[in-house]
Amino acid sequence: MSSDIARKVEEIWRAALTVPNGQEDATFFELGGESISAVRIVSRIEEELGVWIDVGDLFEDDPNLATLVRSVTAKAEDASAA
């Protein structure tokens, strides 16, 4: 399941942000992330994966893709365990 989540989060991330070759580890802000892209990412994750994350997490944590995948995967696992 976590590999499915990782693929979907990556798809969402790349759709909302421009990720140039060689910058796959760049953070949200390094990729030009702003409020509209944060809302797009959060909304799609909630709609497509059923996982709620706060828009503020993107602004406060400035995650890269791998960090966001870990966060979404952990929240998905917590939700399924509840």
Task: Name the pLDDT band for 77 (thresholds 50, 70, 90).
Answer: confident
Q: What is the pLDDT of residue 80?
A: 76
User: Measuring CA to CA, how many Å separate 35 from each of 5, 38, 51?
Assistant: 23, 5, 19
Q: Which residues of 26-57 are buried (b: 16+ CB within 10 A; e: fewer)?
A: bbbeebebeeebbebbbebbeeebebebeeeb
What residue spans define the domains of the chain? Answer: 2-18+27-81
pLDDT in tens, 7-37: 999 999 999 999 998 999 999 999 999 999 9
Q: Residue 82: is its pLDDT beyond 80?
A: no
Q: Residue 60: is its pLDDT beyond 70?
A: yes
Fold entry, domain 2-18+27-81: 1.10.1200
Distance (Å, rounded) from C-alpha 4 to C-alpha 27?
21
Q: What is the pLDDT of residue 81?
A: 74
Report the pLDDT averaged over residues 48-68: 95
User: Measuring CA to CA, how many Å separate 55 from each of 20, 23, 28, 62?
Assistant: 23, 22, 12, 11
Report the pLDDT averaged over residues 39-63: 96
